[in-house]
Chain A
Amino acid sequence: MTTYNFIFEGLGLRGWCGEPERTGPMTMAELLARGSAPAEPKTGFDWSALWSLPFPSLDELHKACAAIPRSRDLTKSLETGFLNIRESLRYVLDPLTQPLSWALETSLFIAVNTPWWLMLMVLLVIVWIAGRSMALVALVASVMGFLLFVDHYIFAMQTLAIIFVCAFLCVVMGVPVGIAMSRSDRLQRLMIPVLDMLQTLPTFVYLIPLIFLFSVTEPKLYGIAIILYAIVPVIRLTDLGIRLVDKDVIEAAEAFGMTRHQKLIRVQIPLALPNIMAGVNQTIMMSLAMVVIASLVSALGLGVLVLRGIRNLELGVGLMAGLGIVLLAVILDRVTKAALARVNAAASVPRH
């Protein structure tokens, strides 16, 4: 006898419910219940029963009627459902995402196999082009010098290589999506919950279905996880940036007969560039955050050392890798901020 028997009795569904049959594994609660003796039925109004009145949840209803699934059946069917479509999903996704694996492998190969001095020069040139600041170049040089000195250079380069590939793909895919969102209110309404979900879903949760879909040894596994997580700000800020473009200037563009395409290329994107760059900065920082977590699914880089620090309780290894990540974050942030500042200076609009 359970609390909600009366529902099924009252509705005359006893026959539909059938006899309880044991399909799923036994829960701990059932195991414990088996040990204790069944309670004597009481007469009169039982206050203690009211106090411990259970919510009519799946498990509670199942006790009264076996035809109602338990909540563990729900999670189980989610799992079997996913496993059932896995093959067909993989059939579609596998070739589509294969280039991501190649890109990551190539990028990692280059990062690891280029001589350190050549790589350092290339990086410093990139930093100079992005920021036009000697101080920034000096900062990056000293950080890289430090990482080289403490033998964390290879790990740091692997991390950077993954970030470059993923952030690049985020921009390539995110900017068009942001543009499309800025043009259609309906698409924006559809996308915002998706973006919210991507941003708030705990990062580990991305990894679970991906592990089922792809083999853990494939780089695209963590590549997809990083991109899904880091693409959000660039989409959001592209959409925002284009929507914030001065209405007067848009009106002028229309008055002079610009087509939609001309308007986009000549007016909207250039004027939204400061916001888009802010999105790129955020995307890079989020890639860095995710690449550390992605070491759980075989992403190379400093995250591996952090993981080693946790698993083997090697405090020093973990701390050192953590410091390396902080230093990488600092230089990535500074370089993108410097690029952003240059964009801002070129397109600054102090009005009237």
Chain B
Amino acid sequence: MSQSASISIRNLYKIFGSQPLKALDHVRAGMGKSELMNKHRHVLGLRDINVEMQAGEITVIMGLSGSGKSTLIRHVNRLIEPTAGEILVNGENILKFGESRLRELRRKQMSMVFQHFALLPHKTVLDNAGMARAVRGEDRRGYEQDARDWLARVGLGGQEAQYPHQLSGGMQQRVGIARALTSNAPIMLMDEAFSALDPLIRTDMQDLLLELQLELQKTIVFISHDLDEALKLADHLVILKDGIIVQQGEPQEILLHPNDPYIVDFISDINRARVLRVRSVMDVGPVPPPQTAGKVDADATLESVIALSEGDTSVSYEVHREGKHVGYLNMQKLVRALVPTQAAQNGMRNSTRSTSA
């Protein structure tokens, strides 16, 4: 496994139009997206984006369509050039790279998984999986075994000789993932990788990704428009709206302390008990409750604890992580955490809808 890599994006702006630099001045002076569109016919893609993506973590960038998330991920490998800002990979500003260094970066440091798979239709599954390595000029013998191993790992053993169109969507995306993994690059960019798949297969693929990540510790940038998916995968969650980061941080943190009506609106639909974890609502203090009814894992979902307690809110649990005691969980506190954020019920949703429309 090759070394890990961190990515930082600093003060990134992207404006689409004929004279982006001119428009940039307006944006820096505070002009909004719709005003820029109406007055200067430029589209504000991204505005002052600052994200630190740690090595070995999954950073999920979430937003609705048009929020700029796909634009953002394409900046990481410079499929799109920014209007202003810096993108550092392992501390080096890749915007300063010339053509050949950029190509090296794309070949060795990064791999990408696409929403619509983007496999080569005239190549076999095996050749598709080995594509990144073949592009580097490696001999077929050099990567064939790797490609076979990864295909087997994503559940496509024995299908190497088939062509992409002979496979279902889920299987094609497995090829896409095998292609990214065979490239052996430390950074994996996943652009709505699971959005085109049906829900059951999507869950499978998410589990597969988490399982692989446990072992590979790659730096993954994952784009999603699905909050459940984002919460499930993210170590670090970035929420984009109209090209601006609304909030970023640990997903549990965002869920418990949303700082924007937009996010409140977003999270009001999800099943909090299924997403929130014990560690987010437990008490870390040394003050023990009078008695505990048993032990629960820090990463267990609240839903599983409720099932354990059979609905009894008077009990408390000891919280453990990897066998060590880390805190206590009070069931009443747990229930309080499940109360939806106030804004969601009292018409906030509707008012945000109407303002954003």
Chain A residues in the interface with B (C-beta under 8 A): 246, 248-249, 251-259, 262, 266-267, 270-271, 273, 346-352
Contact = CB atoms under 8 A, between A and B. Distances in A.
A262 B120 CA distance: 13
21 contacts: A249-B120, A251-B79, A252-B118, A254-B79, A255-B79, A255-B106, A255-B189, A256-B107, A256-B131, A257-B106, A257-B135, A257-B136, A258-B135, A266-B120, A270-B122, A271-B120, A273-B122, A347-B121, A348-B165, A352-B116, A352-B169
A257 B131 CA distance: 11
Scoring A262, A266, A270, A271 by chain B CB atoms within 10 A of each residue's CB, the highest score goes to: A266
Contacts of B184: none
Interface residues of B, number: 29
Given A349-B121, A352-B169, A255 B112 contact: yes
B121 A271 contact: yes
Contacts of B71: none
Nearest first, the 6 A-B pairs at minimum CB distance are A257-B107, A257-B106, A252-B118, A255-B112, A248-B118, A349-B121
Given A257-B132, A351-B116, 4 more contacts: A249-B120, A256-B131, A257-B136, A346-B122
A249 B123 CA distance: 12
Nearest to B111: A256
Contacts of A255: 77, 79, 106, 110-112, 189
Interface in B136-155: 136
B122 A248 contact: no
Contacts of A347: 121-122
A257 B118 contact: no
Contacts of A248: 114-118
A301 to B, nearest CB: 37
B116 A267 contact: no
A318 B131 CA distance: 57
Contacts of B252: none
Nearest to A254: B79
Nearest to A349: B121
A143 to B, nearest CB: 33
A256 B103 CA distance: 8
B135 A256 contact: yes
A303 B77 CA distance: 60
B224 interface: no
A259 B79 contact: no
Nearest to B108: A257
Nearest to B169: A352
A54 B114 CA distance: 69
B316 interface: no
Contacts of A256: 106-107, 111-112, 131-132, 135, 183
B338 interface: no
B208 interface: no
Scoring B106, B110, B116, B117 by chain A CB atoms within 10 A of each residue's CB, the highest score goes to: B116
A138 to B, nearest CB: 30
Nearest to B100: A259
B94 interface: no
A352 B196 contact: yes
A170 B236 CA distance: 57
B121 A348 contact: yes
Contacts of B196: 352
A215 B327 CA distance: 101
A256 B108 CA distance: 9
Interface in B12-55: none
Contacts of B111: 255-256
Given A248-B116, A346-B122, A259 B77 contact: no
B299 interface: no
A80 to B, nearest CB: 50
Contacts of B117: 248
Nearest to B189: A255
B246 to A, nearest CB: 27
Contacts of A258: 135
Scoring B105, B106, B114, B121 by chain A CB atoms within 10 A of each residue's CB, the highest score goes to: B121
B165 A252 contact: no
Contacts of A262: 135
B66 to A, nearest CB: 19
A62 to B, nearest CB: 51
Interface in B63-121: 77, 79, 103-108, 110-112, 114-121
A184 to B, nearest CB: 18
Nearest to A246: B118
Scoring A252, A270, A346 by chain B CB atoms within 10 A of each residue's CB, the highest score goes to: A252
Given A256-B183, A266-B120, A349 B165 contact: yes
A258 to B, nearest CB: 5
Nearest to A348: B165
